[in-house]
Amino acid sequence: MTDPGIEFLEKTRYPDFSTVDLILRVPEPPKELPVPDGAQVINLPNPKRIKIKEVPVREALENWELPGFFSRSSITLNELSFLLWCMQGVRKAVGDSPIPRNVPSSGFRYPIETFFVAGEVEGLETGLYRYLPLSHQIIVERLDSDLPLAMGTACMNFKLITKAAVTFLWVGIPYRSTWALGNRGYRSVLIEAGHICQALIMASSCIGCDVQPIDLFHDEMMIHLTHLDQKSQWPLLVGAVGRREREL
């Protein structure tokens, strides 16, 4: 029997660039998933104008632990804007030059899309949304009060997720990376999901929230919930954000 881990490593070694679509002049894939016609797009508050508590890096790292459960809590639209910007926000756009964001990405390919279920976000109806980093906006994918329960069921942890203020789902678009890096790009997609989740953990400490990363979920249920193309859009990692009940 073939070991899938060994096979993955062997097939994603540094590539022969003669087989890379960038070298072959295949058109570059879009940097973001398109916004459907008629979709509701919501402007987010400017993250540079949002006042957030400053938390030392050491304190953020030492205080983090798996919450296990949340009390019922909410976050503001300002806080959501801050979290999204810390995870994937664009720092500065300069012509056609690569656009740096707040997390590293091999070859500046940024193959991750951020979806989220808003459970208790002030100013947002309960539903599924997607972040548009290039314009710092969010798009309404679907409004449905049952989505936190559906997300919790898909993650096998509905008690935690149904009380989370917001639950993020990071979806990989592998071709954005493999277009420029060949099969090596598959490694980049997985690594970048970790970078983004760590950024969320650090940023959440500034708004008094905890993060529960979840990598065990029903793939088919998650694909159905978010209406993904399972061949080109891969659910990779979940991050639930909320507040724990503190001991007095």
Convert the pLDDT of each residue in 24-44 to its tens digit: 999 999 999 999 999 999 999
> Is 113 a residue whose pLDDT tops 90?
yes
Q: Which residue type is seen at 163? A: K
Q: Is 35 domain-assigned?
A: no
Closest CA to 214 of 172, 170, 244, 174: 170
Instruction: List, for residues 15-29, the tens digit of each pLDDT value.
Output: 778 779 999 999 999
246 pLDDT higher than 90: no
Task: Calculate the CA dihedral of residues 45, 233, 155, 103 and round it to 10 degrees.
Answer: -50
Q: What is the pLDDT of residue 248?
A: 35
Res. 95 pLDDT band, cuts 50 70 90: low
> What pLDDT was estimated at residue 18?
78
Q: 207 Cβ partners below 8 Å, 6+ apart?
A: 52, 53, 75, 79, 82, 83
Domain contains 248:
no
Q: What is the pLDDT of residue 17?
A: 80
Q: Is residue 153 part of a domain?
A: yes
User: Residue 247 falls within a domain, yes or no?
Assistant: no
Chain mean pLDDT for the chain: 91
Q: Confidence class of residue 66 from pLDDT cuts 50, 70 and 90?
A: confident
Task: Answer yes or no: are the C-beta atoms of 83 and 200 closer than 8 Å.
Answer: yes
Share above pLDDT 90 across residues of the chain, in percent, rounded to a whole number: 74
Rounded to an integer, what distance in angstroms lies between the CA atom of residue 184 and that of residue 11?
Answer: 8
pLDDT score for 157: 86
**pLDDT score for 247:** 44
Question: Which region among 16-30, 58-72, 140-154, 193-207 has the lowest average model confidence (pLDDT)?
Answer: 58-72
Greater model confidence, 189 or 47: 189
31 vs 105: CA distance, rounded Å: 13
Q: Which comes out higher in pLDDT, residue 204 or 73?
A: 204
The structure tokens 């390919």 sit at 109
pLDDT at 46 over 90: yes
The answer as to whether 98 is a domain residue is yes
- State residue 93's pLDDT score: 67
> What own/partner pairs with CB < 8 Å and gap ≥ 24 does 42-46 have?
42/124, 42/129, 42/137, 42/138, 42/139, 42/140, 43/136, 43/137, 44/77, 44/80, 44/81, 44/84, 44/136, 44/137, 44/138, 45/77, 45/78, 45/81, 46/81, 46/136
Q: Averaged over 179-189, what is the pLDDT? A: 94
Helix (H, G, I), strand (E, B) or coil at 149: helix
Q: Which residues contact 109 (CB under 8 A, 6 or more apart)?
A: 176, 177, 179, 180, 181, 185, 188
- pLDDT above 50 (res 143): yes
Domain count, the chain: 1
Residue range 215-235: mean pLDDT, rounded: 95
Residue 96's pLDDT band (cuts 50, 70, 90) = low
Tell whether 9 is covered by a domain. yes
* Position 103 in a domain: yes
What's the half-sphere exposure (Cβ side, CA atoms, 13 Å) at 216?
3
Q: Which domain holds residue 178?
A: 4-30+40-242
Residue type, 236: L
On whether residue 122 sits in a domain, the answer given is yes
- CATH number for 212: 3.40.109.10
Where would I find the beta strands (DSSP E) of 22-87? Answer: 41-43
Share of the chain above pLDDT 70, in %: 96
**Residue 63 pLDDT class (50, 70, 90 cuts):** confident
